[in-house]
Amino acid sequence: MSNDLGEISTSRMAPPEMGEPYLLTPGPLTTASEVKHAMLKDWGSWDGDFREMTADMCRRLLDIAGDKNGEFVCVPMQGSGTFSVEAMLGSFLPKDSKTLVLMNGAYGKRTAETLSYLDRDFVVLDKGDYMPPRGDEVSRLLDDDPTISHVIVVHCETSSGILNPVQEISDAVYAAGRKLLVDSMSAFGALPLDVNVIQYEAMVSSANKCIEGVPGFGFVIARKSEVEAAKGRSHSLSLDVHSQWVNFEKSGQWRFTPPTHVVAAFMEALKMHEAEGGAQGRLARYVRNRDVMVSGMRELGFETLLKDRWLSPIIVTFFNPAHPNFTFDGFYELMKKRGFIIYPGKLTVVDSFRIGCIGRMDEYVMTEVVEAAAQALREMNVESGNPPESALIERAKLAA
Ligand SMILES: *Cc1c(COP(=O)(O)O)cnc(C)c1O
């Protein structure tokens, strides 16, 4: 964890609307009331105002990605984030490509599954539930197999919360003359993925993660030359990034019915993102959220799955306490009663739960989360959050 907590904000953020719990889940997440209120208006998808809004949205997203020379384009895509991942894969991976999938959790698995559907050749580096794929491993695999043309990595693997080392992976991929695609769904807008710093061909994210919009669409940010080369390649009519882009270029319109209210809400979210200091400001808040929450939970005896180095400021996995009175369902309900929706774990080997750090909330809220967890443990007659020995043995396997 960072020791530099930045400036501590002096005013707390407004809570969600009356009676709504905080969503400590990595999307859908708690949104600002300004974002919700932006949806109270109908927009004609065809109308110039909405077309201008879409264009403005894309410019702002390219700004966040650091594109200065118009080398990249932004192509929004209807649907949840997975639709955009599938659109990216189907559009940028040639039919005769072979992809190395870096897998360490559910989203890496989903990528491999998608490639099977798309009938694209791939190999997998499977690191299990939460080990990070490292640059030198990627180099070795690429050296051993010159037929691999592409690599795909998940930026923050939301299933464990691990922050994968995209910079060293990108360096390894381009040193070997291959191409990188990034699933930055739960990271973009907070964690840096600047095109001038980290080389990649395309990345995807969606409306309801770090930009703090509501769900309904995703977006692909890709090198323009890759989008141009994708003509006629997609397996899917609706998920064809090239066709979608051509339509935006030609008419400023989405090809099929856009989620107008969601886009309007997202514009508000983007303005608030900018007002907070862009990705840097947002990251600072998420880091404080994580640090306050993790240190409080550790004081209660809870242990994180990951060592500090790999702990993302997006979502954190904790082991379930060893105490026989503890059940996740009981804990969940007691947290909900106090206004916090937490997330079950997604590990195969040990029982765990997750607490998200993203969404419209600050360190004051995180202090209340810890207090609620303390009360929930008391109510369950669980003296401490200490995990079982087996969990700690499992964690010890995690590379330094
Ligand atoms: C949220 C997320 C997705 C997309 O999930 P959807 O449920 O389709 O929105 C993909 N990859 C990662 C890493 C995610 O966090």
- Predicted pLDDT at 5: 43
- Predicted pLDDT at 8: 47
- Predicted pLDDT at 11: 59
* Total residues belonging to the chain: 400
First to last CA, the chain: 14
- Atom index in ligand 1 nearest the CA of residue 184 equals 13
Amino acid (one-letter) located at 251: S
- Annotated domain spans of the chain: 17-30+278-398, 41-274
Q: Left if phi > 0, otherwise alpha if psi is -120 to 50, otherwise beta: which for 264?
A: alpha
User: What string of pLDDT tens digits covers the 400 residues of the chain?
Assistant: 443 444 445 557 877 777 789 999 988 999 999 999 999 999 999 899 999 999 999 999 999 999 999 999 999 999 999 999 999 999 999 999 999 999 999 999 999 999 999 999 999 999 998 899 999 999 999 999 999 999 999 999 999 999 999 999 999 999 999 999 999 999 999 999 999 999 999 999 999 999 999 999 999 999 999 999 999 999 999 999 999 999 999 999 999 999 999 999 999 999 999 999 999 999 999 999 999 999 999 999 999 999 999 999 999 999 999 999 999 999 999 999 999 999 999 887 889 999 999 999 999 999 999 999 999 999 999 999 999 999 998 888 775 5
CA nearest to 205, candidates 218, 189, 222: 218
CA of 222 to the centre of ligand 1 (A): 18
- Rounded to whole angstroms, what are the CA distances from 167 to 75, 172, 174, 314? 24, 9, 11, 18
Q: What six digits make up the tokens of 167?
A: 């910079």
Edge-to-edge strands, sheet with 72-78:
72-78, 217-223, 202-206, 179-183, 150-154, 98-103, 121-126
Q: How many CB atoms lie within 10 A of CB 156?
A: 29
CA of 185 to the centre of ligand 1 (A): 6
- Output the CA angle 287-292-298, nearest 5 degrees: 120
Alpha carbon 134 to chain centroid distance? 20
Percent helix, strand and coil across the chain, each rounded to 5? 40, 15, 45
Q: Whose CA is nearest to atom 6 of ligand 1?
A: 81
CA-to-CA distance for 120 and 93, rounded, in angstroms?
A: 8
Paired residues of 317 in beta bridges: 354
CATH class of residue range 41-274: alpha beta
Residue of 163, 186, 204 best suited for mutating to test ligand 1, as the one with most atoms within 8 Å of CB: 186
pTM: 0.95
Q: Is 217 in the pocket of ligand 1 (CB under 6 A)?
A: no
CA-to-CA distance for 233 and 280, rounded, in angstroms?
A: 36
- Predicted pLDDT at 14: 76
Question: What is 17-30+278-398's CATH superfamily?
Answer: Aspartate Aminotransferase, domain 1 (3.90.1150.10)
- Atom index in ligand 1 nearest the CA of residue 158 equals 15
Q: Is 186 in the pocket of ligand 1 (CB under 6 A)?
A: yes
Q: What six digits make up the tokens of 34?
A: 């300004």
